[in-house]
Amino acid sequence: MSGIEDFPPQLSIEHQAEWGFVTTGAHRLPATIAISAAAILQVTLPDRLITDLGPRWLVPALEMALALSLLIANPRRNADEARHFRIAAIVLIAIVNVANVVSLGELIHALLAYNSTPSNGRQLIEASLPIWVTNVLVFGLWYWELDRGGPGARLSQNHRCPDFLFPQMTAIGTNKGEWAPGFFDYLYTSFTNATAFSPTDTMPLTSWAKFLMMIQSFASFLTVAVVISRAVNILH
């Protein structure tokens, strides 16, 4: 097999499966479930962490409304997907991401300016977990939405070079028939990056993929190594 830069025109049909090429559309339901989970987690946060975003229900309601609208209007991501559907999907992920960044910033500020009771310290520890989980969900969504131009573009034999190198794309014989990374593969990549603070079995190949993984690792580090540690010190 030739280098990554040769994909896809130079690859033979029998090798396209190893490089993650399939012809069936990707369903939007898994991503919608992830958005719904993020919205629920945002509702559970203390008021002090979401006051900058308006009423507690505003952002989660907006996320759910947009996610359900996309699921109904365009349930399956195909190669001929209308451009405005993909733009709406990117905007939706950005809203979830911005909301989580704001909550993380408020959490760090609350810990640094901490001068209250231990019970509030416990509340901050509990709030760090939904923020960390949302971080995993939102970056899994980013990876799924942006890799090779998106779920729809990945259906084309002429999609751009891979942004992530999955093990199945190089270990010939580990998969039967057609294979391409699904949403769970990107979610798993996000989870392992957030826990290890570095790539594990899936490698970023392009600058934007490396940048996103770096940002996610940094956010995860702040939540786990700084925020939780500071909250534990408060309790002691």
Q: For 1-45, how does the pLDDT look when each residue is reduced to its tens digit (9 = 90+)? A: 344 444 333 344 444 444 555 556 688 999 999 999 999 999 988
Q: What does the pLDDT read at residue 115?
A: 57
Dihedral sign from CA coordinates of 195, 199, 200, 203 = positive
Encode 134-168: b = buried (16+ Cβ within 10 Å), e = exposed: bbbbbbbbbbbbbbbebbbbbbeeebeebbbbbeb
Confidence (pTM)? 0.83
CA distance 18 to 58: 43
- 174/18 Cα distance (integer angstroms): 9
- Residue 231's pLDDT is 65
* Chain segment 201-215, per-residue pLDDT in tens: 889 999 999 999 999
pLDDT (0 to 100) of residue 169:
79
Residue range 43-64: mean pLDDT, rounded: 84
Cβ atoms within 10 A of the Cβ of 181, count? 24
Lowest mean pLDDT across 6-15, 27-36, 85-94, 223-232? 6-15
Q: What is the mean pLDDT of residues 109-135?
A: 75
**Cβ-proximal residues to 76 (8 Å cutoff; 6+ apart), any chain:** 25, 26, 27, 28
Note the pLDDT of residue 49.
78
Sign of the Cα torsion 13, 19, 20, 21 reads negative
* pLDDT(181) > 60: yes
> Residue 100: is its pLDDT beyond 50?
yes
- Alpha carbons 79 and 57: distance in angstroms, whole number: 35
> What's the CA gap between 109 and 111, in Å, rounded?
5
**Structure confidence at residue 146 (pLDDT):** 92
Residues 6+ away with beta carbon under 8 Å from 173:
none
